[in-house]
Chains A and B, each alone.
Chain A
Amino acid sequence: MPVPHTAFAPEAMSNRSLRAFLHGFPGVDEVGARARAQDLSTRSIKTTAKAEAIDLAIRMVDLTTLEGADTPGKVRSLCAKAVGPDPADRTVPRVGAVCVYPDMVATAVEALRGTGVAVASVATAFPSGRAPMEAKLADTRRAVADGAGEIDMVIDRGAFLSGDYLKVFEEIVAIKEACGAAHLKVILETGELATYDNVRRASHLAIRAGADFVKTSTGKVSPAATLPVTLVMLEAVRDHHAATGRRVGVKPAGGIRTTKDAIRNLVLVNEVVGPDWLTPALFRIGASSLLNDLLMQRTRLSTGTYPGPDYYTLD
């Protein structure tokens, strides 16, 4: 869409030029955005479409553990689950990635070697992002050095909300550089940005700064990944693609617990940015408990009977 806006490259990067760039995007009407998301959430995905959607959703899951109590043992068992989500059914696809804290990257890499499941690491003083830049860079470099193929950084929401767009921008650029070949997902923490206008602007700021993915949330702040937020972010990547041809991914994370939630997200992708984005390369879902619900619904579809949670592994 906004070709005139995104085609404009701020020459001398400054808060003023970034502000002009970001505030040049059309506004988002909250009620209208919610209504659109609500309307799409009434899509009825049944039978074959549902089966297809469930397997796709499993492949898109970034199976996540981000707890203070995480241990190598916990991470290893999560990795096992990522590779073979349902021990009783080998037709179940692997998940997209396992997402852990930086100090667990080595453990995860070891556990997932040769499986094709990527290791993603949060970084930059996740979840608050409140640390000196040197610490954020060190955090990132260490995770990459330990073998993380994907880095999930958080933006400095304080800087964003205070209008210091340049600080946010430069941090992303610096982290992107530190990532090297690793993919960078930029967490906007939309629950703290509060408005959809901010979500749109932060998305474009991150995209402009080099993000490979924009991600909604850390999972530590409520609300996390709501459908309208994901909608607005999908619109941003759609518009960026229209303007530049570059494809940026989107990752809703936090609060997506049921198959229904996951399918609603897929419908959103399908109808907002189009089926090209229906691939784990461009859409991920950050979740932990979601996977078991997907597995249960998968069983329900193939057997016709309702399964119980005890038939699926906890992790």
Chain B
Amino acid sequence: MAERRDTGKATRAATRATGEGAAPVRLAVRKTYKLYLGGAFPRSESGRSYPVTSADGRHLANAALASRKDARDAVATARKAFGGWSARTAYNRGQILYRVAEMMEGRRDQFAAQAVAAQGLSADEADRVVSAAIDRWVYYAGWTDKVAQVIGGANPVAGPYYNHSAPEPTGVVVVFAPPNAPLLGLTSVIAPVIATGNTTVVVASEKAPLAAIDLAEVLATSDLPGGVVNLLTGRVPELGPHLAAHADVDALDLTGAGEAAVEFEKAAAATLTRVLRPTPEADGGEEAWLDPDPGTSRMTPFLETKTVWHPIGT
């Protein structure tokens, strides 16, 4: 894919004003796809973008081509948001995740159209994928206040001590989103990470990044605090090494890291960053992510168990 410099907003808007079908009665207002950082939608600080095409090769839009510095800013903003998000009650996080589902439901036509355009899905397939993505938010909304009970609990130590273990979010998780499942796959990797109180920097599917920005628009209007999810569009080989080696990143989801996964895992070793290796569905399309009950497997890799002791006495 070619990379371009942003040479002038006005020219670009004018030259891309035509496209689908017959001459419109009125000129459609197109969307500028930008990054999603700290709750705002900035362009890449590099001023770069790259063209995104549909499954059959038509030009769809230009996406921001995030730079190393954008990645650095994203980590900083995710770190800043971590304290507040992780301190929210699990109930509140559940409410917000459910709100995301509500907002997506209201925009399902947009997501379906995007899935048809970007992935070449049939209308039925697109509908199924969008439904599953919405339901995934509902699924994890329900997990927020249960996971601690399922994987934590009291430990019967042999002594006069109260002792319990509870999961806590790991911190800032960098997610390399699945390359071929830009909506359901993306949702399936983001939702479990933030459900438990982590904040995240997501590198969207390079070839199909538009659904990610559509999702970001939903997140931005769902009471999700800015900085909890930060979305970068761009190239894994360019952004990945910096994110993987970043000392303030606590964990990596390498699902969409492709061939670079091993290199990233090695880089992560320098600061003992937690790593979730690519899972079997990593390279699959949306259909690989349809299982309605993925369980805790995508939450536990980004949780730390804290065990607290206290004496029992008068």
Contact = CB atoms under 8 A, between A and B. Distances in A.
B160 interface: yes
Nearest to B311: A31
Contact of B160 (A31, A194, A195, A196): A31
Interface string B152-167: 0000000011000000
Contact of B311 (A32, A194, A195): A32
Contacts of B160: 31
Contacts of A194: 314
Interface in A1-54: 29-32, 34
Nearest to A33: B313
B23 interface: no
Interface in B129-176: 160-161
A221 to B, nearest CB: 17
Interface string B16-27: 000000000000
A195 B312 CA distance: 13
A31 B161 CA distance: 8
A235 B165 CA distance: 35
Interface string B28-51: 000000000000000000000000
Contacts of A34: 313
A241 to B, nearest CB: 27
A29 B310 CA distance: 10
A236 to B, nearest CB: 18
A247 B161 CA distance: 36
Nearest to B313: A30
Interface string A291-312: 0000000000000000000000
Nearest to B159: A31
A195 B313 CA distance: 9
B17 to A, nearest CB: 75
Contacts of A195: 314
Contacts of B311: 29-32
A109 to B, nearest CB: 42
Nearest to A30: B313
Interface in B103-138: none
A188 B224 CA distance: 60
Contacts of B161: 31
Interface in A184-239: 194-196
B253 to A, nearest CB: 42
A196 B314 CA distance: 8
A34 B313 CA distance: 10
B161 to A, nearest CB: 7
Contacts of B314: 30, 194-196
Interface in B269-314: 311-314
Nearest to A32: B311
A191 to B, nearest CB: 14
Contacts of B312: 31
B45 to A, nearest CB: 55
A47 to B, nearest CB: 34
Contacts of A32: 311
Nearest to B312: A31
Which of B160, B312, B313 has the most chain A CB within a 10 Å cutoff?
A: B313
B157 to A, nearest CB: 12
A75 to B, nearest CB: 39
Contacts of A29: 311, 313
Contacts of A30: 311, 313-314
A277 B2 CA distance: 87
Interface in A253-276: none
Which of A30, A32, A194, A195 has the most chain B CB within a 10 Å cutoff?
A: A30
Nearest to A194: B314
Interface string A162-197: 000000000000000000000000000000001110
A29 B312 CA distance: 9
Interface in A103-157: none
A195 B314 CA distance: 6
A272 B313 CA distance: 22
A214 B313 CA distance: 24
A35 to B, nearest CB: 9
A65 B160 CA distance: 37
Interface of B: 160-161, 311-314
13 contacts: A29-B311, A29-B313, A30-B311, A30-B313, A30-B314, A31-B160, A31-B311, A31-B312, A31-B313, A32-B311, A34-B313, A195-B314, A196-B314
Given A29-B311, A31-B161, A31-B313, 12 more contacts: A29-B313, A30-B311, A30-B313, A30-B314, A31-B160, A31-B311, A31-B312, A32-B311, A34-B313, A194-B314, A195-B314, A196-B314
Query: Nearest 3 CB-CB pairs, A to B?
Result: A30-B313, A31-B311, A31-B313
